[in-house]
Chain A
């Protein structure tokens, strides 16, 4: 089964905005994929005028926070890079171990979401800094950051619309809904390293493809 892939629009985020942006996007995706009984929780973003919906599962929230922490740590070490977070949903298939995989349990991925973030440092990226005289720096920077903030907010909204559109359009590839409450499908969040090494994320993707156990890939 081919996994559906959704590449979300790239977002330019400042370091302090990463957490909120990721929370917003990850929770939204999971909300649309948590097809068990849930009690939705609307959460307001602090930095943006956006309300996103959480599925209300504490476990999920914890896992997401952990991943966000991990991502923030990574990007702190290597700022000003483009990074990807991949949220994948899979099915567990029990299979006998073969030569390429020692696991008895096999994961069959059926959906991948790629969240593209470009972590920028507003100060170094502010165009006005280069163009304006020193005296103008203060006012120019403020304007710049306000407009950047507004642009980011509208981009986040666009990404959320994108998610909703994707969820609506592609419905056939979902496995059957298990009866369990809350999160119905197992998922994982992977942080793909930055694009400084242009092949970086490619190798991750390749690894995943190998794990899916596509017969065609093996040969």
Chain B
């Protein structure tokens, strides 16, 4: 019946608008870049719903994804950056919107009265949204939001969110600390539309302040905690300030959907807003809040402007300008503030536009592809081509990411990361997947830029689907690197076990590295075999003549530290795996 579909549309739009209002006043740096003209007109039309123009919504969110009868639960989470553990997360607000109670059988009424009812529903929803909007600004979390979005400074806390259709009820302890406010329900054809919020009446317990410039340190216990709660978001601390990955703990969720859903969020959400070089906020494509449909399927075609669904069509990615064209001197020269903002922006370094583009494209591919699609083996020749260009930027990025270890954005850039992972890995997984790597090694122990490891762990733990083309590509190429790094040997067998395509990739990489001017700070490295040249740690950094010696030295130091960590943690495993391989 037309009226019921109209009511359904009203309710769906209501959910979306409420979501927009809530996130807009709780999640710093939310908005994406201004979308293309066609999308913008569309967005403007959408904006008129409920006569409340809230501006651009990240396109990924700008889809009515919610089924009317399912509740929409939005958790606003305050988490400490310093503590990567999930324990540091606190749900400061839980917003619930749902249609409840059995609907009055309005289907039997005449069309005119149904239309009257839907109009009334609309009018009351307008009022409800107005009060919701005001109310959002009266709660204590709003002040926290203002603080965190106020400047480029990074704070010791992050605000993030999680949307789900079902959420674990609060524990008794938590429940006691929360206050409940319920808005008057709006009658609809499908039941009563109720919006309520459980919130902490005071946030003075949290000592939110500007964090000092991040020291160069390795987070050795970086935990992705996918094992703990695969459906939950990643630990917030290493993440950029602002939007966090959304975990969709929906009924009947598909695990394969989640990793890819997670990953994009974890690295690309709004953060670029604070990028010092960014001319515009994160591109729509980058704001990867991919709201799943009810069943956890990521809607692939969320970014119509720039992405094609389900494919690695790198060519079609138009990455957001923020980081590609801006020339940047060597990041370390900028000092830690740059690093910080980079951290928050979670993007690759901007100094190399072209590779960045490549990197980002590759980086984005997991987002774009079908959640269910297995990326292994990678579409190698193509991906490797892109990968080559992306090698530069990753390497560069690594050099200044080295000690923060907080970037998910380093996934693709971190040869060493994969190297380390590979070293932990048994010989089982030749396709480059990490299925056993981190499982055996536990949560990623890598010192820096472990976002990729975390993500891959996530994948592995979920169901082994690894939609990280980078990782796949890099894994094998860096496989040998790891071994040589850690073992000071060149286990040829590692390479032999790789796929042919990856061999080709490796070969290209080796060539590239060989032809790069060396930057040798440590003689021991230079004495290694050609295999060792693949060691991304030192030599790859030599690709960038713009790097200063001091930078390289710092890098070396951090690599050494990482190596030590890896060795200490997984020395035994490595030995075993290498021996196994050689057999």
Q: Which residues of A contact B (CB under 8 A)?
A: 28, 31-32, 35-40, 42, 49-53, 157, 160-161, 163-164, 167-169, 171, 174, 176-177
| Chain B contact residue count (CB 8 A cutoff) | 23
Chain B residues with CB under 8 Å of A39's CB are 53-55
Chain B residues with CB under 8 Å of A160's CB are 134, 138
Inter-chain contact B134/A31, CB cutoff 8 Å = yes
Inter-chain contact B133/A177, CB cutoff 8 Å = no
Binds A, one of B119-127, B159-167, B266-274, B445-453: B119-127
* Complex Cα–Cα for A36 and B146 (A): 28
Chain B residues with CB under 8 Å of A174's CB are 123, 127
Inter-chain contact B130/A31, CB cutoff 8 Å = yes
Chain B residues with CB under 8 Å of A177's CB are 51, 123, 126
Q: Which residue of B lies closest to A164 (CB)?
A: B131
* Complex Cα–Cα for A171 and B129 (A): 13
Chain B residues with CB under 8 Å of A31's CB are 130, 133-134
Report if B52 contacts A (CB, 8 A): yes
* Complex Cα–Cα for A161 and B181 (A): 11
Contact of B51 among A37, A53, A163 (CB under 8 A): A37
Q: Binding site of B, secondary structure by majority: helix, strand, loop or mixed?
A: helix
Inter-chain contact B184/A168, CB cutoff 8 Å = yes
Inter-chain contact B137/A53, CB cutoff 8 Å = yes
Taking A35-B126, A37-B52 as known contacts, 16 extra A-B pairs with beta carbons closer than 8 A to each other, sorted by chain A number, are A32-B134, A37-B48, A37-B51, A40-B133, A49-B143, A51-B137, A51-B138, A51-B146, A53-B134, A160-B134, A164-B135, A168-B131, A168-B183, A171-B184, A177-B51, A177-B126
B172-212 interface code vs A (CB 8 A; 1 in, 0 out): 00000000000110000000000000000000000000000
7 interchain residue pairs of minimum CB distance: A168-B184, A39-B53, A51-B137, A37-B51, A164-B131, A32-B130, A53-B134
Report if B338 contacts A (CB, 8 A): no
* Complex Cα–Cα for A164 and B136 (A): 11
* Complex Cα–Cα for A65 and B124 (A): 29
* Complex Cα–Cα for A160 and B54 (A): 21
Contact of B138 among A32, A36, A40, A157 (CB under 8 A): A157
* Complex Cα–Cα for A160 and B142 (A): 15
Inter-chain contact A40/B127, CB cutoff 8 Å = no
Inter-chain contact A168/B134, CB cutoff 8 Å = no
Inter-chain contact A171/B124, CB cutoff 8 Å = yes
* Complex Cα–Cα for A45 and B36 (A): 36
Report if B282 contacts A (CB, 8 A): no
Inter-chain contact A38/B51, CB cutoff 8 Å = yes
Inter-chain contact B138/A171, CB cutoff 8 Å = no
Inter-chain contact A169/B130, CB cutoff 8 Å = no
Chain B residues with CB under 8 Å of A167's CB are 127, 130-131
* Complex Cα–Cα for A164 and B127 (A): 10
Contact of B131 among A32, A37, A38, A157 (CB under 8 A): A32
**B158 CB to closest chain A CB, in angstroms?**
21
Chain A residues with CB under 8 Å of B490's CB are none
B37-67 interface code vs A (CB 8 A; 1 in, 0 out): 0000000000010011111000000000000
Contact of B53 among A37, A42, A161, A169 (CB under 8 A): A37
Q: Which residue of A lies closest to B181 (CB)?
A: A161
Report if B128 contacts A (CB, 8 A): yes
* Complex Cα–Cα for A174 and B128 (A): 14
Chain B residues with CB under 8 Å of A28's CB are 134
Please report which residues of chain B, range 100-153, place their CB below 8 angstroms from some CB of chain A when the two chains form the complex. 123-124, 126-128, 130-131, 133-135, 137-138, 142-143, 146
B444-485 interface code vs A (CB 8 A; 1 in, 0 out): 000000000000000000000000000000000000000000
**B431 CB to closest chain A CB, in angstroms?**
52
Chain B residues with CB under 8 Å of A51's CB are 137-138, 142, 146
Instruction: Tell me whether A168 and B128 are in contact in the complex, defined as CB-CB below 8 angstroms, given that A42-B137, A52-B134, A174-B123 are known contacts.
Output: yes
Instruction: Tell me whether A164 and B134 are in contact in the complex, defined as CB-CB below 8 angstroms, given that A171-B184, A177-B126 are known contacts.
Output: yes
Chain A residues with CB under 8 Å of B124's CB are 171
* Complex Cα–Cα for A32 and B51 (A): 11
Contact of A171 among B48, B54, B127 (CB under 8 A): B127
* Complex Cα–Cα for A35 and B191 (A): 24
Chain B residues with CB under 8 Å of A163's CB are 134
Chain B residues with CB under 8 Å of A161's CB are 138
**A181 CB to closest chain B CB, in angstroms?**
8
Q: Which residue of A lies closest to B195 (CB)?
A: A168
Chain B residues with CB under 8 Å of A171's CB are 123-124, 127, 184
* Complex Cα–Cα for A49 and B52 (A): 24
* Complex Cα–Cα for A168 and B197 (A): 15
Chain B residues with CB under 8 Å of A40's CB are 52-54, 133
* Complex Cα–Cα for A39 and B21 (A): 12
* Complex Cα–Cα for A169 and B183 (A): 9
Chain A residues with CB under 8 Å of B184's CB are 168-169, 171
Chain A residues with CB under 8 Å of B143's CB are 49
Q: Which residue of B lies closest to A181 (CB)?
A: B51
Q: Which residue of B lies closest to A50 (CB)?
A: B138
* Complex Cα–Cα for A167 and B132 (A): 11
* Complex Cα–Cα for A189 and B387 (A): 67
Inter-chain contact A53/B133, CB cutoff 8 Å = yes
Q: Which residue of B lies closest to A163 (CB)?
A: B134
A-B contact pairs, 30 of them (CB 8 A): A28-B134, A31-B130, A32-B130, A32-B134, A35-B51, A35-B126, A35-B130, A37-B52, A37-B53, A40-B52, A40-B53, A40-B54, A40-B133, A49-B143, A51-B138, A52-B134, A53-B134, A160-B134, A164-B135, A164-B138, A167-B127, A168-B127, A168-B128, A168-B131, A169-B184, A171-B124, A171-B127, A171-B184, A177-B123, A177-B126
* Complex Cα–Cα for A167 and B138 (A): 15
B361-384 interface code vs A (CB 8 A; 1 in, 0 out): 000000000000000000000000
* Complex Cα–Cα for A25 and B55 (A): 25
Q: Which residue of B lies closest to A179 (CB)?
A: B51
Chain A residues with CB under 8 Å of B146's CB are 51
